[in-house]
Amino acid sequence: MKLLAIETATDACSAALSIDGELRERFKIAPRAHTELILPMIDELMAEAGIAISQVDAMAFGRGPGAFTGVRIAVGVTQGIAFAADLPVVPVSTLAALAQGAATDKVLAALDARMDEVYWGVYQRNTAGLVEPVGEECVSAPGAVPCPSGDDWQGVGAGWKAYESALLARCEGRVMSWDGTFFPHARDVALLGIAGYEAGQGVNAEQALPVYLRDKVTWKKVR
């Protein structure tokens, strides 16, 4: 299977191409430069693999939550390519992709949602090596996040850097370590996207929509 994945919901911009399980990726931390970077990254990956977009079986993208502009870029680029090439699309949670890249089985993923809030998700890795959500993703004040029971959890994501004290106090005694410099990668969007595609979660390009978690954020679909 050939799957193209992109992730632009945070300060990190990345694209990945999976061909029969072999992953290639381009990744760069470059706030406000995603528009200039993402298409050249895709072109480089396709040229390196020696294939055309028409030979790809599906796309996957980080559907958020994350920065409004970053998520909008991912949706717009995905819709544009998928419409033109008539490809199915698998939306992948950016929080899940963040957790997938962590080197542990129990992950507390947090992104800075601004306004003194975090985007929050709790994940555990299954026997196939893929993370699954424990409860629902949410946007919350750091001191009110739903912290799971048990210990040996690892925190990842910029939300831990922005709200370290409040999150550690909320999850006191349950967090083994945390890394606030950890970003979601397109390679992990690809891994989760392949699993989603095999599970029948692919959608048409026009259904490749964002998830912001905040109800008051509105979206005008890119065409």
Distance in angstroms (rounded) separating the CA atoms of residues 39 and 101: 23
Cis check: omega of the bond before 88, within 30 degrees of 0: no
Whether the pLDDT of residue 218 is over 50: the answer is no
**pLDDT tens per residue across span 114-171:** 999 999 999 999 999 999 999 999 999 999 999 999 999 999 999 999 999 999 999 9
Mean pLDDT of the chain: 95
- Angle among Cα 5, 6, 11 to the nearest 5 degrees reads 150
Task: Give the architecture (CATH level 2) of 102-179.
Answer: 2-Layer Sandwich (3.30)
Q: Which CATH superfamily is domain 2-94+184-207 in?
A: ATPase, nucleotide binding domain (3.30.420.40)
Return the number of other C-beta atoms located less than 10 Å from residue 181's C-beta. Answer: 10
Q: Is residue 79 pLDDT above 90, yes or no?
A: yes
SS3 177: strand
- The pTM of this model reads 0.95
Q: Is the pLDDT of residue 222 over 60?
A: no
Check residue 219 and give its pLDDT: 38
Q: Provide mean pLDDT across the span 76-97.
A: 98
Domains 2-94+184-207 and 102-179 belong to one CATH topology: yes
Residue 139 is predicted with a pLDDT of 97
Residue 217 has pLDDT above 50, yes or no: no
What percent of the chain is modeled with pLDDT above 70?
Answer: 96
The answer, yes or no, to whether residue 220 has pLDDT greater than 50, is no
pLDDT in tens, 17-32: 999 999 999 999 999 9
pLDDT of residue 215: 64
Instruction: Report d(CA 72, CA 210) in Å as an integer.
Output: 7
- Does residue 200 carry a pLDDT above 70? yes
Say if residues 149 and 126 touch (Cβ distance below 8 Å): no
Does residue 107 surpass a pLDDT of 90?
yes
Tell me the H-state helices in the chain: 34-49, 68-85, 94-100, 158-162, 164-170, 186-198
Domain boundaries, given as residue ranges, for the chain: 2-94+184-207, 102-179
pLDDT confidence tier of residue 205, bands split at 50, 70 and 90 = very high
Does the pLDDT of residue 221 top 60, yes or no? Answer: no
- Minimal CA–CA distance to 111: which of 63, 171, 66, 80? 66
